[in-house]
Amino acid sequence: MPARISDPASAPHAGADLARCNWCSGDPLYVRYHDTEWGVPSRDPRHLFEMLILEGFQAGLSWLTILRRREALRTALMGFDPEALAGTGEAWVQDRMQDASIIRNRLKLRAAGTNARAWLALPDPVGLVWSVVGGRPIIHHYAAPGDAPVAGPEAEALSRLLKRHGFTFVGPTICQSYLQAIGCLMDHTTDCHRHRELAG
């Protein structure tokens, strides 16, 4: 699993004068996430599940908001343990709605439990996620973030698959961001130092 981002100062590139994707602001949390996690191929089931839940929570919000609440969400959502989340219900949702440190959205909290149950029902969740890219990262060579589609064919396919298996908050746009985040789609722009490191 990629390194956690709770200590931005420990990032290998933190503070370095390096070219980055232009969506990456100067916020240390964002820089660490960009430099150590985003676009790195992951096959760790816990990490893949965590990112799926976080991408759902991001709907309508900025990713930096998610990063700033990630540790609080990790605590509130029992370490993103799908087995623990699968046992949650309305009482748990109502309790989480009192926690000001997280994103208090009833539908998204319910989705965490729903998606945990759907995840556990899959015989091979990692294989299912990676199946939409043929099991290997697709390396793109975009000059600017806007060159990437909002929802490409792989995201469309993953969205259909996940919905078929009972997942929620998994529309094509969410799935596009998810596939980029977990490295199925390597979409660092060509001027970014991470493109050179991950495309090779």
Given CA atoms 137, 155, 54, 20 in this order, what sign does their dihedral have? positive
Helix (H) or strand (E) holding 138: strand 138-139
Summarised one tens digit per residue, pLDDT across range 22-51 is 999 889 999 999 999 999 999 999 999 999
Is 92 catalytic? The answer is no
pLDDT > 90 in the chain, percent? 88
Residue 15 pLDDT: 47
Summarised one tens digit per residue, pLDDT across range 115-174 is 999 999 999 999 999 999 999 999 999 998 889 999 999 999 999 999 999 999 999 999
- Check 30, 33, 130, 142 and give the catalytic one: 33
- pLDDT at residue 12 above 80? no
Rounded distance between C-alpha atoms, residue 76 and residue 92, angstroms: 10
Residue 68 CB coordination number (10 Å): 13
| CATH 1.10.340.30 corresponds to the domain 26-199 | yes
Residue 85 pLDDT: 98
Instruction: Judge contact between 44 and 12, C-beta under 8 A.
Output: no
Task: Give how far the C-alpha of residue 151 lies from the chain's centroid of Cα atoms, to the nearest Å.
Answer: 15
- Check 37, 50, 55, 154 and give the catalytic one: 55
- pLDDT at residue 7 above 60? no
Interval 90-102 mean pLDDT = 98
Alpha-carbon separation of residue 7 from 28, 68, 179, 189 (angstroms) = 9, 12, 25, 25
Instruction: Judge contact between 183 and 42, C-beta under 8 A.
Output: yes
Residue 25 pLDDT: 84
Is 33 catalytic? The answer is yes
- pLDDT at residue 6 above 60? no
Rounded distance between C-alpha atoms, residue 154 and residue 35, angstroms: 24
Residue ranges of domains in the chain: 26-199
Rounded distance between C-alpha atoms, residue 82 and residue 103, angstroms: 19
Is 55 catalytic? The answer is yes
